Amino acid sequence: MNNTRQGISKGIDTTILWLYFALVTIGWIAIFSVEYRTGDNAIQKILSFNTNYAKQLFFIGLSLIVGVFVLLTDSKFFTATANLAYAFGIVTLLLVFPFHSHIKGTNSIIKVGAFNFQPAEICKLFVALALAKYLSRLETNFNKTNSHLVAFAITLTPSILAIFQNETGLALVYFSFFIVMYREGLPAWYLVLGFSLIVLVVATLLVDKNILAIILTTIAVFVIYLLYSRFKRYRRYTFLVVGIWLLAVSIQRFAVPYVFDHIMQPYQVKRIYAAIGKDYVPKDAQQLKELQEKEKGKKKDESDYNVKQSKIAIGSGGFLGKGFLKGLQTQGDFVPEQHTDFIFTAWAESFGFWGSFLLLGIYLFLLLRIVNIAERQRSAFSRVYAYSVASIIFFHVMVNICMTVGLAPVIGIPLPMLSYGGSSLLTFTVLIFILLRLDADRQMVLR
Amino acid sequence: MSVFNQSRKNVIRLIFLAAFAVILLQLINLQLVSSKYKKLAQENAILRKVVYPSRGIIFDRKGKAILDNTTMYDLMVTPSQVKGIDTASLCRILDIDTAEFRERVISAIIKNTRNRPSVFSALLSPDKYAKINENLYKFQPGFFLQERPVRIYPFNTAANILGYLSEVDSNFLKKHANEGYQMGDYAGMTGMERSYEKVLMGERGIQYILKDNLNRPKGPYENGAYDTAAIAGKHLYTSIDVELQKLGEKLMENKIGSIIAMDPKTGGILALVSAPTYNPNLLTGSERRKHFNELYRDPALPLLNRAVNATYSPGSTFKTLQALIGLHEGVITTGFRVACSGAFYGCGGGKPMKCLDKGVFDLRGAITISDNTYFATVMQRVMNNPKYPNQDSALAVWDKYMYAFGLGHRLGIDIPTEKRGHIPTPQYFDKIYGQGRWNYCNFRSVSIGQGEVDVTPIQVVNEMAFIANKGWYHIPHLVDSIEGGDKFGLLDPYKKVITPTDIPDSIFEAVHDGMQGVVERGTGIGAKIDGITICGKTGTVENYYKGVKQPNHSFFCGFAPRDNPKIAIMCVVENSGHFGGTFAAPICGLMIEKYLKDSISGDARKANLDRLSKLNLIPPRIYKELRTRDSLDHLKDTAYLKKTGYWKTTTDTLETDDEPDLKAEKTKSRKSDKDSSNTPAKIKPDAILPDNKKKATKDSINI
């Protein structure tokens, strides 16, 4: 695979390809270590196709075949069909509502033949294409609020639909497109505002509400003092400061409690509380009852238990790790959902800190490489698309690993290329291979 | 247009880097810094299972096991697998109702989770075991039987010597922190089980077992590389003669007191009876706690080992020692004579000490008929010995003799709770009367073993061994040898010959003469056996309980045969009334005959044995206390019922003033216990719930 060769491999970025293979291999090894027990005949199990690592091997093969098809496709195809694909995605998402199958805890899956098809998972690919298409239009002026709103609509429509399908994790992924929009000129204050809001919400949960109000007031008074003593030119902003202060206090006093008590599901609130290390007891008796009802069947507080076991497994790895297939936590099935969302724990226990460092390094290298590739594109479409890919992968890796190490609430989203599951692997493969195709053809695009 | 935003690529890179740095920091925290997770991981995945070795067995001098191990069975339950079994038939076998069944399963889940087995019914009785074993297939896999090694006592004897095992408490764990005990273990609490715990317990093994998320064992960790094997406890070979012990216990039935028989040559105890005693098998098995409570609350104190833990004034048995001191100090000779005109007037007026037989006696005669005046005079001469400047120093010399004879301090027998007794010192009298303001006449009753002197039975038998051996003894002990050698040096003190004085044989011969006379024609004639020369001494001990004079204790001590002593013996029957010769002497006679001749011969003596063993000499005081205790319980129950309100409901419904049916009340109050946990459950032991039993107070009592 180098540039001297003709055919589909011409111009393909081999670095990304190698990183992709490395991640897929690591994923398969980890899935294998989760399920393999000493004495199993691995080859026989793979042939009889009844283990997850056998199925994952099949998904890898399938993904590679699809990947080759993607590379064989003309890059103009993607630009041409982006909107169509997006429409297709939205339609399938809507089709989920009447036709979804009843699979544990989710309403987001359609069964097509033998396959479970999760539109919310695949739709991010279409959003990436559609967003790229919209932003690369010559008529789009992304300095205008109008175009911001259109971009928001493109990205957040599937997100809202996913929320209605009880897939909070997948819904959150769509917020990663804000990174792309930022790169394309979205004013920074959108991000600052969003970030401040998150800080305010977390602070509301962590700090006593009166103390927080006092802190906010102190900051406001200090800022006003500065305006009057040092930066006299900006005095006219006093009202703005007072307005922000009023808004912040009302959010922390009224909006957050209202959203938590009346809009969000109790289990979601509980997970958020668990992530910041607090117990959640609903004030509303009805909700308390519902929550207890929901957790009745489970012997332990599940999300709490998952994170604890996940941290134990990672922590027990130490610097060098327990060694391949020697992780006691993995072998003892202590970590729930270890082959899917918690796959990182299997790797971290077996190979310890250096293994985790290596894995994070590969992901970071991949992300920075994609950013580099994005910046060398001539066409805006390719650039936006490349940033989309980077943002999606970044968001997945961040949220997933932060969840396993206990820094984020338990949100069920897969670790790209590692987690078991056909939908996820196929989606990321197609995402990356389209990028490779577009990048290979970057010279063909006129400026 | 987007060119203007090109610098933002660096911001994005920075965001990526920062995010990864945060994750990396947390990974450093989890994997490199914090050791908490590694420990939790161990607890998660590795089960440290203690493998218990079998405890050592205790044999008597003829190699019979007086204490053995047997296997009993616990019925275990794994709650998650209890499905579709014939609950009713299991309940029928175990004699419980389905509500109790459900309760036990629930408490098993609470204790050990539903996937781990817990005890459903501990230590099944043999017939329950047989029934369950037969029908086990019906209850599997939810129920299974698990072996439990349990102590068994084939001869139903020697409870006070052997001691019992009991679950260790937190105090014990603190004291024996590094000896491998853990909660739920059993350890010897009394008797030899306690003093030889180190030897008997063996060495525990440890197995590391891998388990999975449901706590199911999955096999050895690292193929058992870190496991250690259990080493069985060592056997003890004792000097006990189990036949003699049984005879002694039979003789002491319905009496309070003790018998000790000892080999004077070795110091090995042949029999050590403390009465009343109990069947040691009561304190094993599933009914243990109930039995223990009964024994613990018995006013006759069957759990008290009187042979080492009770102190008495020695009474006239003390005179033998007074004779030794008098002769050795040279204040008297064997020919020294004292006339008794009815009492001892050596201290002038006041309350004179009576003597029983009037006449003039030399030393031998005085011992034989136990003449009070004679020994009062002897001790007076010791105290007024011109060799010593004052009575103070004379008493100190006398004390030294007494200590040398083994009195006034713990001998160091190899069972716990030995008492030291009391020998009065000059300091002791100084405290009572003031310095220099006392003289012999203040404590003259000590001369005949009354008043300010206390001894334990084991000290008395040891002093007999000392006299029999003419000047030396071994510290009394039960264990002769330990299987595989005495690694902890536990037996070292017993191997030493102790020769505490330089009293010549001739003095001992004179005392022996007197003691032989006691049995042949004196106060101890009840101990006489044809063909065996027995030396003995009786004692009739006046005593008081809470200031009230009680019937006399009956004492006898001695050894036989005179020329080649093979057994030293003592017997005390508390509050039997009469004289020492009446009960204690014939009991000792039978014991000596049994040991030396191996059986009791002659119909007359067998009849005597029968008569003595059937004799009930338990003082009325004990029966009174028993009644008081029971009526106190009754009152307590009544008070409790009144407090909980159940009393009222019954009196409301009852039309007559008859005593309410307490049994029914108790079952009611049981229910109330379950309902309201805030009322303190102060009910008498037989109302303790089976579940409470397990949690109830620990067994260790200090006696």
Residue A12 in any domain: the answer is no
Question: What is the pLDDT confidence band of residue B211, given thresholds at 50, 70 and 90?
Answer: confident
pLDDT of residue B480 exceeding 50: yes
Instruction: Mark yes or no for CB contact A315/B6 under 8 Å.
Output: no
Which residues in chain B are closer than 8 Å to A348, comparing Cβ atoms?
27, 31
**Global pTM?**
0.64
pLDDT of residue A48 exceeding 90: no
Q: Residue B569: name the closest of B602, B597, B530, B535 by CA.
A: B535
Q: Where are the domains of chain B?
A: 51-152+202-233, 307-618, 640-695
pLDDT of residue B349 exceeding 70: no
A274 and A387, same domain (yes or no): no
pLDDT of residue B65 exceeding 50: yes
Averaged pLDDT, B254-276: 93
b/e burial code for range A262-275 (CB count within 10 A of at least 16 → b): eeeebbbbbbbbbb
Instruction: Mark yes or no for CB contact A352/B31 under 8 Å.
Output: yes
Could you please state the CATH topology (level 3) that the domain comprising B307-618 is classified under: Beta-lactamase (3.40.710)
A287 and A313, same domain (yes or no): no
User: Which pLDDT belongs to residue A281?
Assistant: 67
What is the CATH code for B51-152+202-233? 3.90.1310.10
Residue A428 structure tokens = 């990321």
Which residues in chain A are closer than 8 Å to B6, comparing Cβ atoms?
375
Distance CA B672, CA A296 (A): 29
Last residue of a domain, one of A280, A297, A314: A297
Distance CA B222, CA A30 (A): 22
User: Which pLDDT belongs to residue B669?
Assistant: 45
Q: Minimum mean pLDDT among A269-278, B128-137, B249-258, B425-434: which range? A: A269-278
Strands B257-262 and B269-275: antiparallel
A169 and A201, same domain (yes or no): no
Mutate to test the interface with B, among A139, A311, A447 (most CBs of B within 10 A): A311
Mutate to test the interface with B, among A131, A140, A302, A328 (most CBs of B within 10 A): A328
Domain that holds residue A273: 266-297
Residue A323 contacts residue A292 (beta carbons within 8 Å): no
Can you say how many angstroms the Cα of residue A177 is from the centroid of all Cα atoms in its chain? Answer: 10
CA-to-CA dists, residue B449 to A235, B318, B349, B538, angstroms: 109, 5, 21, 12
Q: Which residues of B touch A (CB under 8 A)?
A: 1-2, 4-6, 8-9, 11-13, 15-17, 19-20, 22-24, 26-28, 30-32, 34, 36-38, 40-42, 44-46, 210-213, 218
- Would you call B188 helix, strand, or coil by DSSP? strand
Question: What is the pLDDT confidence band of residue A295, given thresholds at 50, 70 and 90?
Answer: low
- Averaged pLDDT score across all residues of chain B: 83
A29 and A141, same domain (yes or no): yes
Residue A379 in any domain: the answer is yes
C-alpha R_g of chain A:
24
User: Which pLDDT belongs to residue A346?
Assistant: 94
User: Which pLDDT belongs to residue B660?
Assistant: 41
Residue A9 in any domain: the answer is no
Secondary structure, 3-state, B319-387 = HHHHHHHHHHHCCCCCCCCEEECCEECCCCCCCCEECCCCEEECHHHHHHHCCHHHHHHHHHHHHCCCC
pLDDT of residue A324 exceeding 60: yes
Distance CA A167, CA B404 (A): 91
A354 and A403, same domain (yes or no): yes
User: Which pLDDT belongs to residue A301?
Assistant: 56
User: How many domains is chain A partitioned into structurally?
Assistant: 3
Q: Please report, rounded to a whole number, the percentage of residues in chain B having pLDDT higher than 90.
A: 34
Higher pLDDT: B653 or B378? It is B378
A86-105 per-position pLDDT tens digit: 999 999 999 888 887 776 66
Q: Minimum mean pLDDT among A401-405, B241-245, B447-451, B662-666: which range? A: B662-666
Residue A246 in any domain: the answer is yes
User: Which pLDDT belongs to residue A45?
Assistant: 82
Instruction: Mark yes or no for CB contact A407/B26 under 8 Å.
Output: yes
Q: Minimum mean pLDDT among A106-120, A192-206, A294-308, B346-360: which range? A: A294-308
Residue B529 contacts residue B422 (beta carbons within 8 Å): no
- The minimal CB distance from A334 to the residues B4, B13, B213 is found for B213
* Cα dihedral sign, B27-B30-B34-B39: negative
User: Which pLDDT belongs to residue B671?
Assistant: 43
- Would you call B187 helix, strand, or coil by DSSP? strand
Instruction: Mark yes or no for CB contact B210/A179 under 8 Å.
Output: no
Helices marked H in A115-208: 119-136, 145-164, 168-173, 177-183, 188-206
Residue B443 structure tokens = 């404590």
User: Which pLDDT belongs to residue B209?
Assistant: 82
Question: What is the pLDDT confidence band of residue B700, given thresholds at 50, 70 and 90?
Answer: very low
A137 and A92, same domain (yes or no): yes
Residues in CB range of A189: below 8 A, 6 or more apart: none
* Cα dihedral sign, B428-B431-B432-B436: positive
Higher pLDDT: B194 or A230? It is B194
pLDDT of residue B685 exceeding 50: no
A 10 A CB-CB count for A337 gives 16
Stated as kind and residue range, the H or E segment containing A325 is none
User: Which residues on neighbouring strands pair with residue B147, listed in sequence order?
Assistant: B73
A414 and A308, same domain (yes or no): yes
A175 and A201, same domain (yes or no): no
Averaged pLDDT, A243-248: 88
Question: What is the pLDDT confidence band of residue B268, given thresholds at 50, 70 and 90?
Answer: very high
Residue A3 in any domain: the answer is no
Instruction: Mark yes or no for CB contact B44/A309 under 8 Å.
Output: yes
Amino acid at B559: F
Distance CA B578, CA B238 (A): 36
A320 and A418, same domain (yes or no): yes
- The minimal CB distance from B30 to the residues A182, A367, A405 is found for A405
Stated as kind and residue range, the H or E segment containing A362 is helix A343-375
Assembly ipTM: 0.88
pLDDT of residue A348 exceeding 80: yes
Eight-class DSSP state of B231: B
pLDDT of residue B595 exceeding 90: yes
Residue B401 contacts residue B325 (beta carbons within 8 Å): yes
Instruction: Mark yes or no for CB contact B8/A183 under 8 Å.
Output: yes
Amino acid at A15: T
Distance CA A94, CA B632 (A): 81
Higher pLDDT: B166 or A298? It is B166
Distance CA A182, CA A391 (A): 11
Which residues in chain B are closer than 8 Å to A179, comparing Cβ atoms?
12, 15
Averaged pLDDT, B210-214: 78
CB-facing half-sphere around the CA of A265: CA atoms within 13 A? 11
A204 and A257, same domain (yes or no): yes
Stated as kind and residue range, the H or E segment containing B155 is none
A 10 A CB-CB count for A295 gives 16
Instruction: Mark yes or no for CB contact B27/A353 under 8 Å.
Output: yes
Distance CA A219, CA B516 (A): 108
A 10 A CB-CB count for B534 gives 27
Last residue of a domain, one of A255, A276, A297: A297
A 10 A CB-CB count for B99 gives 9
Distance CA A272, CA B57 (A): 62
**Angle of CA points B232, B233, B239, to nearest 5°:** 140
Residue A11 in any domain: the answer is no
Q: Please report, rounded to a whole number, the percentage of residues in chain A having pLDDT higher than 90.
A: 41
Please name the residue of chain A whose CA is at the shortest distance from the CA of residue B34.
A315
Higher pLDDT: B470 or A109? It is B470
